[in-house]
Amino acid sequence: MHPAQTVDKLRPELSALLAEGHVELYELDSSADSAVDPAAAGAALADDENWIVPTESGRQVAYVVSLTDAGEDEFRRLVALHASA
């Protein structure tokens, strides 16, 4: 288990993963099967309100972060690298 992290620490890391194509954002309650477009995903990450639980913020939108195929490949590569060290 990882220790709790601040939004200031996580936001740039998640933004980098998004920019590198390792993760995508989806609207939790959306019926759309496609990820939020990159510009909207970046704006969602930049909005402080999106880092507060919707039941506490009163917002109607919540997001889910999902690995892309490239993200899964990179994760597997890093696990294998760590296992061989």
Looking at residue 71, its pLDDT comes to: 95
The reported pTM is: 0.81
Query: Mind listing the pLDDT tens digit for each residue in 26-67?
Result: 998 877 789 999 999 999 999 999 998 888 888 888 899 999
How is the chain split into domains, by residue range? 7-84
Give the separation between CA 85 and CA 62, rounded to whole angstroms: 39
Task: Report the chain's terminal Cα–Cα distance, integer Å.
Answer: 21
Query: DSSP class of residue 51?
Result: G
The answer to whether 61 and 29 are in contact (CB under 8 A) is yes
Place of tokens 């999106």: 50
- Give me the phi and psi of 84, to 5 degrees please: -85, -10
